[in-house]
Chain A
Amino acid sequence: GALGTRTFAQGTDLTPNTYEEITSYNNYYEFGTGKDDPARYADALTTSPWSVKIDGLVDNPGVFSIGDILAKMTIEERIYRFRCVEAWSMVVPWNGFEFADLLSMVGVQSSAKYVAFETALRPDEMPGVAYRVLDWPYVEGLRLDEAMHPLTILATGIYGKPIPNQNGAPLRLVVPWKYGFKSIKSIVRITLTDSEPATSWNKAGPNEYGFYSNVNPEVDHPRWSQATERAIGGGFFAKRQPTLMFNGYDEVASLYDGMDLAKNF
């Protein structure tokens, strides 16, 4: 597909992590809290057939099969930095489409201000949900202008291959300027709303995980510094790297003009 230069903002020199690294080191607590649990257990997830319910303040609500959606979308490659709230990072060559294109497919009503997302909840296929680590199902949300930003994509692949289950098959959000947990996996529902939706980690720890959760080296997690990050794949003696404001995606800064990002963390 067309690869706009903007999608590579500061990214032309990015070296992606290996497929092995990206698919063996995951946070997907529905399959367990260990980094290797998702790779071990997520193959139990049935991803075909798959459908996404799109409802709320949209002109054409409905239940859409993944095939119906993909038929209308243009898949392109986006090489994005991925910064976890736990202070590690990767570079991932995603394949996906702009979320704004899906929104225009269903028609957003003028009263909509936020987008709420929900992950599949399948106790029979997800061993991790037997434990109340979080209040299942996993839910996330974006402000509408964040959701509409051209950097925001729904990913369906990595390295040109169908996205593996442990990375959020068959359809996951990728918002590269926010901490990884905002990029919700295995989406089954998208709801346009006029009020800020609840988000899973915010519910679990409101003082630790805010609604915005923009990557910000100046606002620490209460339990650890966010000033630096460990780049995965560097081995034992890799030096920590400085974390970049908005994870290096400065073009989103105008979305937050006039906002106190220490308060709206």
Chain B
Amino acid sequence: MDLVGRINGALRKVPTWPFYILCALPPFWFLFQGLSGALGVDPVKVMEHRLGELALQFLVAGLAISPMRRYLGLNLLKFRRLVGLAAFFYVCAHLLVWLVLDVQIPSQIWADILKRPYITVGMAAFALLIPLAVTSNMWSIRRMGAKWRQLHWLVYPAVLLGALHFVMLVKGFQIEPLLYMGTILVLLVLRYRPSRRRQMA
């Protein structure tokens, strides 16, 4: 048996539920680290940025699952909901830290959302992810049928906006956000299948 086949076989026996617990831990871990001084002298910003990056990393991982099956034969499909929901959880935590610990002032929060393009873009990405998170369950998939696929197509603009949010917020010319954007664009190109497009049109 080849390596990929062996991995796929092993993964079939792995339950997903323990990973839900694992993926729920980082925000609490960051909070603990921040309170104990391990995040340095500006724990709010560090926590905010780590959560945002983690969200982006999980969104990228979610995009990679399909191409990995197509090009490597590696089947991680059963983890896709976990990865998506974890990403949404980190986005929520990121937003909460920004609202409650960073900006603090409700009137300024609203002004920022309207006036600051990078925040508008980030909020748009968050808004796009809400219906996806809400329908990430078997009941919705069964009930919505073909519409579920159409709705979950929103993850592509959401991920692009998330990366754009990062590109727009850094000072000066920085490489890291561009690497995320580049990776996302490559993953989107890898997913592109002209034949399926025609069927959908």
A residues contacting B by CB (< 8 A) are 17, 20-21, 24-25, 29, 33, 35-36, 86, 88, 131-134, 201, 204-205, 220, 222-225, 227-228, 230, 232-233, 235-237, 239-240
Contacts and interface: CB of A to CB of B under 8 A. Distances in A.
B189 interface: no
Contacts of A225: 108, 111-112
Sort chain B's interface into a size bin.
20 to 34
B116 A240 contact: no
B40 interface: yes
A133 B173 contact: yes
A33 B174 contact: yes
Given A225-B112, A236-B34, A236-B101, A36 B172 contact: no
Which of B41, B44, B116 has the most C-beta atoms of chain A within 10 angstroms of its own C-beta? B41
Nearest to A224: B116
Which of B112, B115, B171 has the most C-beta atoms of chain A within 10 angstroms of its own C-beta? B171
Q: Which 7 A-B pairs have the closest CB atoms?
A: A133-B172, A21-B41, A25-B41, A204-B172, A232-B41, A134-B172, A240-B104
B108 A133 contact: no
A3 B85 CA distance: 59
A36 B38 CA distance: 12
A36 B111 contact: no
SS of A interface (majority) = loop
Nearest to A222: B116
Contacts of B168: 223
A227 B112 CA distance: 12
Contacts of B14: none
A236 B175 contact: no
A204 B42 contact: no
Interface in B93-123: 101-105, 108, 111-112, 115-118
A223 B103 CA distance: 13
B35 interface: yes
Contacts of B42: 25, 35, 88, 230, 232
Nearest to A22: B41
Contacts of B172: 29, 33, 133-134, 201, 204-205
A227 B40 contact: no
Given A204-B172, A204-B173, A223-B116, A239 B44 contact: no
B26 interface: no
A200 to B, nearest CB: 9
B100 to A, nearest CB: 9
Given A20-B41, A36-B40, A131 B108 contact: no
A134 B172 CA distance: 6
Given A33-B171, A235-B43, 14 more contacts: A20-B41, A21-B41, A25-B41, A86-B171, A132-B173, A133-B171, A204-B171, A204-B172, A220-B115, A223-B116, A227-B108, A228-B105, A235-B35, A237-B101
Contacts of A25: 40-42
A237 B171 CA distance: 26
Contacts of A204: 171-173
Contact of A239 (B104, B108, B175): B104
13 contacts: A20-B41, A24-B40, A25-B42, A33-B170, A35-B45, A36-B40, A133-B174, A205-B171, A225-B108, A235-B43, A236-B43, A236-B44, A237-B101
Contacts of B185: none
Contacts of A230: 42, 44-45, 102
Nearest to A225: B108
B183 to A, nearest CB: 18
Nearest to A131: B175
A201 B102 CA distance: 25
B169 interface: yes
Nearest to B34: A236
Contacts of B34: 235-236
B82 to A, nearest CB: 29
B40 A224 contact: no
A237 B111 CA distance: 22
Contacts of A201: 172
Contacts of B43: 235-236
Interface in B110-145: 111-112, 115-118
A201 B171 CA distance: 9
